[in-house]
Every structure is written in structure tokens, then in C-alpha cells.
Homo-oligomer: A and B are copies of this chain.
Amino acid sequence: MKKATIKDVSELSGFSITTISRVLNGNYPVKSETRNKIMQAIEELDFSRNSTARNLRTKKSNLVGLVVADINNPYYSRIAKKIDDGLFEKGYNLLVCNTDESEKKEKRILSTLQDKDVDAIVISPAAKNIEILRKLNNSGTKVVLIDRNMGILDIPFVGSDNFSESKILTEYLIQNGHKKIMFVSGTDTAVTAQDRLFGYKAALQENNIPFEESSIVKGYYKQENAYENTLEFLKENLSRSDPYTAIFSSNNLMTIGIIQAIHKMNLKIPEDISLVSFGQLDSQEIIDPKVTCIKQNIDQLATDTLEKAIESLNDNNGNIDSNIIRDSLEIGNSVKKIE
């Protein structure tokens, strides 16, 4: 059973292809009698437009690419959901792509998306593929950066003030008496990872606490890596003369890995070690312990991103404004006050 085309509708109804198209698009006067006959033929043939042909002619795909590290991260899946909902209402569909934090994969994805003629790309860049993004943006594919601006200032961006918030989170630990704070870092190439580290360092410095390179454990924004490397770190920590008393996790996924590592070592939070997290855990309230964290305003982020995306799809005067989301410090019971 082959799908009917406009031509079939034309033949059945006796009107030209042009007129069928006009009925479909409603952008040109058509006698209502004509329209009715055509509608009837459409009904009869169960016709619906082939959007590939349509896209070719109109140079619009009604496709938006969403490029994130991992759709399985609730942070991104919540964003995906909201954006998909909003765009679907506007007639767009979402093409979801996972970079796995790999620069190479991101390159391939962007190239694919360009070939697919997506109208816009919403991306949380894994790497500094700045030139590619800029080229896309200039060639008519609207780009919206989320979460990580990569220092690109001429493309609209929505995300957190990672530096300041990371500093606040670190200060909270310091206020509670912690001086030896281990830092589990994110992907080297991600700007957020750097900014969070800088925020941490700034807090130390302002409080005259020396920064040690050895405080940094690489977690690459991944639960698995955070688990393994934290576990190793904790083992060594046992034999230190001045052990670390707190851990700063750079994102939500790694926090889970870190908690697992702590459990594995039979340590208790916060009695044996304190923990704070940049980014909340999903269904925080049923997790033990309740982790003190920077609670990211994901709904706001998603809403703003959606708005920016739609805006850029509609008009062509590129609005380059950045949109900094205000997150909040949420106090849990994962930090012990020490002297």
C-alpha cells in the first residue's frame, strides 16, 4: 500500500497540483467549492504531505538538534523533555544526540545535523568546537548554547554562573570548619568544569587556605570515573597525617558515584566525611543523606532555552543576549561542622 502523493490527489479531484498545494498551505485564495472537492479527495486517499520533499523546497526541516553529553543524565533529560514539549507544539521535532563528552563524536554529530538541515541546534558543548558552531550559526542554522558557553560570546547562551556558585558552595564548607577539601573535577574541556574549579580555588584563596594540586580527583563528569577515583583517593586518605574532611563534587552524576565509593569504604556521611555537590540529585528527598548542594534551576533553564530557541527560529536578527540562571544553595545534612 503506497502512500498517496499530491499528484494522486490532483488526478482524483481533477485540479492541478498547484491548487492542491494551495489548499494544503492556505496561503492563496481557492474557491470554497474547489477546496471542498480537494479535501474530499485528500480524505479518500488518506493523503498527507511528504515533508522531505517539502523541506527540500522550503529549506526548512522543522527539526531541532539537541546535543548533550548524555540524555541519561536527569539534568539533560529534564531539559530535553521540556524543550521537546514546547517545540512539538510549534511543529518542530527534536533530534537527540549524545556526545559522551567526546570532542570527536561531537564533531560527527554536528556534521550530521548540518547535513540533516536542522533549523536550530541546542547544544551543551563537550568541547571547544567553537569554529564549527560559529560557522553553523552564520550559515543560518540557529545555535543556542546551554550550560556551557565555551567562551563564545556571539551566540546566545543560557546557563548558570558556575564560578560564583561554586565559590559559595566551597565557602559553605569552609564556614563549617573544613580546610582539607577534595575536589572531584569534570571534563577538562568543558568550561563549566574549569569555572567550578576556579570558584573552588577562589574560595580557598580568600580564606587563606593553600591550594594543593593533589586535592583534585578527575571525574570527567561521569559516575563511574568518580566512583573509581574517589575510592582510590579515600583509601590513600586513611593513611594521611592530615586527612581530607570534605569532598566537593562538580556535578550530580559524580555525586552518586562518590556516595557509592564512600559507602564502599564503610564511611558515613557526614560523620566520617562531608560532601557537597554542584547540582542536585533527582528525587533528592528520598536519598540518604540529603546532600547539601547548588540546586540548579533546571525548569527555568529549560524554559528560557526553549524561549530563546523559538525566538531565534522565528526572526533573523540574532539576539545574542546571555541568560544567566540563578541557582540556589540547598542545605542538607551531608556536612559536619568541625573545629
B96 near A80 with CB under 8 A, answer yes
Within 8 Å by CB of A49, from B48, B71, B115, lies B115
Q: Which residues of B contact A139 (CB under 8 A)?
A: 1-3
What is the CB-to-nearest-CB distance from A77 to chain B, in angstroms, rounded to a whole number? 5
A94 near B93 with CB under 8 A, answer no
- Does A53 belong to the interface (CB within 8 Å)? yes
Residue of B nearest to A59 (CB): B52
Binding stretch for chain B, among A153-161, A179-187, A255-263, A321-329: A255-263
Q: Which residues of B contact A115 (CB under 8 A)?
A: 48-51
- Does A195 belong to the interface (CB within 8 Å)? no
- Does A78 belong to the interface (CB within 8 Å)? yes
Q: Would A93 and B116 be within 8 Å (CB), given that A48-B111, A52-B52 are in contact?
A: yes
Q: Which residues of B contact A93 (CB under 8 A)?
A: 95, 97, 112, 116
Binding stretch for chain B, among A120-128, A203-211, A213-221, A285-293: A285-293
Q: Which residues of B contact A256 (CB under 8 A)?
A: 283, 286
Most buried by B among A2, A49, A55: A55
Within 8 Å by CB of A288, from B3, B52, B111, B287, lies B287
A74 near B74 with CB under 8 A, answer yes
What is the CB-to-nearest-CB distance from A260 to chain B, in angstroms, rounded to a whole number? 6
Q: Which residues of B contact A138 (CB under 8 A)?
A: 1
